[in-house]
Amino acid sequence: MNVIIGSDHAGYELKELIKEQLKQRGINYKDVGPFSEESVDYPDFGHQVAKEVDSGEIEKGIVICGSGNGINMTVNKYKNVRAALSWKPEIAKLAREHNNANILTLPARFISSEEALEILKMFLETDFEGGRHERRVNKIAIA
Catalytic: which of 9, 47, 65, 133?
Answer: 65
CA distances from 65 to 36, 44, 52 (A): 14, 12, 19
Catalytic: which of 9, 47, 98, 133?
Answer: 98
Nearest to 79 by CA among 59, 56, 58: 56
- Catalytic residue flag (residue 65): yes
Whether residue 65 contacts residue 95, with contact meaning beta carbons closer than 8 Å, is answered with no
The number of residues making up the chain comes to 143
- Catalytic residue flag (residue 9): no
Distance CA 11, CA 6 (A): 8
Distance CA 100, CA 134 (A): 8
Q: Helices 113-125 & 12-24, crossing angle to 10 degrees?
A: 50
Q: What φ, ψ does residue 31 adopt, rounded to 5°?
A: -100, 120
Catalytic residue annotation: 65, 98
